[in-house]
Amino acid sequence: MEIKSSNESIATVEADAVVVGVYRGQLTAAADEIDRENGGVISRLLELEEFKPDVGKVLPLYFPTGCKSPIALVAGLGERDQWNRGTAYRALGTATRWLTDRKRRSLAIAADPAWTVAQLEGGVAGAVAGCHGPGLYQAEAKRFQPEQLLWLGTSDDSLSSGRIIADGVVLTRRLVNEPPSTIYPETFAEQATAVANATGMGCEVWDEQQLANERCGSLLAVARGSSRPPRLVILNYQGGDKNVAPLALVGKGVTFDSGGLSLKPSDGMLAMKCDMAGAATVLGAMQAIAQLKLPVNVIGLMGLVENMPSASAYKLGDVLTARNGKTIEVHNTDAEGRLVLADVLCVAVDRGAERIIDLATLTGACMVALGNDVAGVMTNDQAWCDTVMSSSQSCGEPLWQLPMFAEYGEQIRSSVADIKNVGEGRWGGAITAAKLLEEFVDKKPWAHLDIAGPAFLEKPKPWSDVGGSGIYVQTLVEVARSL
Ligand code: BES
Ligand code: MN
Ligand code: ZN
């Protein structure tokens, strides 16, 4: 799909559809033009409240006068003073999702000249994401990417960062949507290697032997039940001064989570190809950060395993030794993500990271606490957490903080080993999981994002098909920009 600016106007552009925006109580210049040429049809529909210009709402006008395109899609933009990057993502995603239900060769979107580059970035990312669905393997496609996405009223320069960020979001979504027989640790690592080669990032892939040499006993235990060998990918982007400590982005990459011997019921297993969404988010963000050539140092670490039951699987009661020497007693093999991340966080620390963000589809408990639309964030350093939260806020990718009271750490004490891998009972499960992770960050500023809810949509949104959501790629890019 080609994404480019066009000098044409709403009147002259020859596209299969044009998108024009309407705020509450205010038409954009492009919408106003269509309105005036067509006897005030938009203003009259607004007056009658036949169309409410909220984000997530669209209204098609067919064969509008003064326009060479057969459809003008009026997109709701919501309140003008609440317009931001996040609403831009959603409003334009809704428009392209509406227009890509059948083959249309070219779509033109009228950008409001008042939009900032950040808002345009969000809009481009949303518009591109809206063109992509989960039907990677359908004989008859249900979503059709246009050949061209034309942007009126802006320049190729202003579009370039949006295009890069959109590519990152689409990469993350595609990886999450691929089936587990296609994306497993080795193939995920190949995808990461390809991204590194294309963008000039450093890339290390640790295989089983190297993971053993590097004392990653906790990650290796989870991998043991599977015929698919594990991998650890370490991407290194150096855009800043050599002496500046890197930001570490750490992702949970469980390419399929059956639960292991603590086997999940079938219903709970169905969506578990999404359990590598943390790693996919890190990869999407690393690609964008490298392509944007940000003047910062970032390492991206992805712990890749498949969690399976078998004769060789790790068992309840096993005691694992993680890379930093701490011992972990296994009480539930379905609490595997924290065991994978334990070792990967140690590697991040050993690589000199002075700031860490991890992303993981870690607990169902976080979904019980917060629902599907927001990730939980937990931290050992409030200032760092505030930085991450303000970046997420500015992207319209919400985070909600959960407390890290010391009492919750007591729950993971073990009578056999240093710690055990679950708390006492189900309550506060998102926090007890984070408390385990905290044991492996060596007191470095760290924020843990439990993305179990928003990483994978079971129901569509107006701006997004079901499946991988690609959420938090933009947040990570914004954090890297804020350093
Ligand atoms: N991958 C799951 C968490 C999950 C659940 C992600 C639903 C997305 C949707 C994780 O590995 C897991 O199984 N967690 C257990 C922990 C429990 C055994 C302490 C859970 O949440 O039930
Ligand atoms: Mn699990
Ligand atoms: Zn899991």
Residue 178 one-letter amino acid: E
Given this model, what pLDDT does residue 331 score? 98
| 123 C-alpha to ligand 2 centroid (Å) | 35
253 lines ligand 1 (CB under 6 A): no
Given this model, what pLDDT does residue 79 score? 98
Active site (catalytic) residues = 264, 338
Shortest-distance atom of ligand 1 to CA 361: 6
Question: How far from chain centre, in Å, is Cα 51?
Answer: 32
Helices 117-130 and 473-482, packing angle to 10 deg: 160
| 471 C-alpha to ligand 3 centroid (Å) | 18
Given this model, what pLDDT does residue 189 score? 99
Domain ranges of the chain: 2-152, 178-482
- Which stretches of the chain drop beneath a pLDDT of 70? none
CATH architecture classification, 178-482: 3-Layer(aba) Sandwich (3.40)
Residue 147 one-letter amino acid: E
Which helix (H) or strand (E) covers residue 472, if one does?
none
Tell me if residue 182 falls in helix, strand or coil: coil
Nearest ligand, CA of residue 366?
Answer: 1
Tell me if residue 4 falls in helix, strand or coil: strand
> Count of H helices and E strands in the chain?
16, 20
Given this model, what pLDDT does residue 56 score? 98
Among 285, 261, 256, which Cα is nearest to 272's? 256
* Cα angle 184, 188, 190; round to 5: 125
Given this model, what pLDDT does residue 50 score? 96
Among 177, 198, 414, 149, which Cα is nearest to 273's? 177
Cβ-contact 288, 165 below 8 angstroms: yes
Residue 440 one-letter amino acid: F
Tell me if residue 453 falls in helix, strand or coil: coil
| Residue with CA nearest ligand 1 atom 16 | 335
Distance CA 203, CA 234 (A): 6
Given this model, what pLDDT does residue 310 score? 98
Among 75, 80, 36, 69, which Cα is nearest to 55's? 75
429 lines ligand 1 (CB under 6 A): yes
Distance CA 456, CA 465 (A): 10
Both structure tokens of 362: 């870690």
| 156 C-alpha to ligand 2 centroid (Å) | 44
pTM over 0.95: yes
Given this model, what pLDDT does residue 285 score? 99
Tell me if residue 303 falls in helix, strand or coil: strand
Given this model, what pLDDT does residue 279 score? 99
In degrees to the nearest 10, what's the CA dihedral of 99, 173, 4, 64? 10
CATH assignment, 2-152 = 3.40.220.10
263 lines ligand 1 (CB under 6 A): no
306 lines ligand 1 (CB under 6 A): no
**Per-residue pLDDT tens over the stretch 369-396:** 999 999 999 999 999 999 999 999 999 9
**Per-residue pLDDT tens over the stretch 82-116:** 999 999 999 999 999 999 999 999 999 999 999 99
Shortest-distance atom of ligand 1 to CA 262: 18
Among 25, 29, 30, which Cα is nearest to 13's? 30
Distance CA 384, CA 147 (A): 42
Distance CA 102, CA 125 (A): 20
